Structure 1
């Protein structure tokens, strides 16, 4: 089997305790992030509920170290009525963040360094703690087209509106 395929398989086959320990260690390094881990489909599938302060909630599905699915949700109305964690948000700003999270998930995928890819993704996701408070790095506005800066630069984590991103 080619080496690159073995690395991908290694990302799937990992001790559950190692994944839990690393994720909880990351969670403990920030005081405004709360991560809950469940394993509903067996020992290798991981369902993470990530809460970023009062800004957003997300559901991240991992298989071993490989991020397979992300959805971002929040909003007072979404929490109260018929909350289904796997369904998409009805709020446009969180739909945009979900789209960007799925792009980031692919960007940070590194089969040779699977733990680093999850940590990098969670660091990027943590940058959304300022979703509604930090202005766009390019135009300096908090809102553009009635949306906050929903895009975060993948290297610098700077916030941008979709139409302002470099």
Structure 2
């Protein structure tokens, strides 16, 4: 494998990050989401703001960007319990979303991305991480379980252009160990 690493994403990386997001979701979620939802994924503007805020890390292998993670403080509505109340650690809970292009999968990029994001979040005062995963996405759920993150019992159902999409929230520690 060529040199692999994780770096802060820059504005120059936006076209590739947007491409990876759109193409990977179209492949991975074609059975879960209708085409009109997949055709209108986040805009370049939304990604630009996340990059500008320093919330996006990119995984590289050689000269290629192969994946990314978006990581920041979790908004209250993302970390709230099912009854709407906030847990005691709401102010120090981080929200992560990781995506690696399938052709670059199973090479440790996802784990490196999450480990680096968690390291940075922990240094900034975060104590726990959460992520939302489609309930039917076994691969992503298994990925988080290997990191020590498990479902915390909270689910939500999103309206995906008339098709319900059920997501489970996983939660776990920010201490991610890389394989030996």
Check whether TM > 0.5: no
Higher strand share: 2
When the two structures are superposed, what TM-score results if normalisation uses the length of structure 2? Answer: 0.30
When the two structures are superposed, what TM-score results if normalisation uses the length of structure 1? Answer: 0.31
